[in-house]
Amino acid sequence: MDRLVRSIKFPIVFDKEKLVTDTLRILNQKWTDHYNTNDYSGKWTSIALMSKGGKSSNINAFSNNTEEFIPTDALRSCDYLKEILDNFLFEKTTVRLLNLGAGAEIKPHTDYCLGYEDGEFRLHIPIITNSDVEFILDGQRIIMNEGECWYLNTNFLHSVKNGGDTDRIHLVIDGIRNEWTDALFFKEAPVEAFKKPTPIIHEDQKKLIIAELEKMNSPVAKELIDNLKKN
């Protein structure tokens, strides 16, 4: 994965005052404790702006819920945040505000299939932050300022520590890759930077795999064997 892009700061800047104004409108609503309780210490809460079924408490990033993905009541009172989302021309799968409280810490972890090379991706737009927030991604500190727009490849090990005395709130958007996003991403990095390298299979490994596939004696197995022998 060494050649893959870890992060991108897009040449997009949002209105910091409007971001904060919208966030303050819903700050007194019920925010939900993050579900990965083993992955953090301190306060880490969230409110959904879009979710399956339109519930602001449905903050799960991976849901099998078959209900329609729609705006929540929280988003309906946030005109500027809605405008931002409408201008991102891709299918959203999760849209949340995430609040990491002062002194809180998210432990080192990796996410599942959230690199652009997987066909899905995650954007961060900082709304309220401070200089003592330490976001470490694959061993490098990423400094994200209010109003900026960032892509982070969270397949890589990452952690966050809010060492400041104020909460840190980000708008976090998960989406599905399409032609519009390709144009956005490929302006910042070459196509090759979003391709997983083809795994190298040594000859002795290849022989063992072929032997196991031959035992299966199925059309799919035979096709796989042919492909392995060609490469």
Query: Are 93 and 26 in contact, with CB atoms under 8 Å apart?
Result: no
Per-residue pLDDT tens over the stretch 96-144: 999 999 999 999 999 888 899 999 999 999 999 999 999 999 999 999 9
Nearest to 155 by CA among 110, 88, 219, 97: 110
Give me 63's structure tokens.
């849901």
Give the tokens for residue 204. Answer: 């002795």
Output the pLDDT for position 42. Answer: 95
Over residues 37-58, mean pLDDT: 92
Strands 44-52 and 92-100: antiparallel
Strand-strand pairing, 105-109 and 40-41: antiparallel
Stated pTM of the model:
0.83
Quick one: which of 125, 45, 135, 58 has its CA closest to 93? Answer: 58
- Which DSSP helix (H) or strand (E) runs through 215? helix 203-216
| Structure-block tokens of residue 137 | 């991604």
Give residue 222's pLDDT: 79
- List of domains in the chain: 7-194 (2.60.120.330), 198-231 (no CATH)
pLDDT band at 92 (very low <50, low <70, confident <90, very high): very high
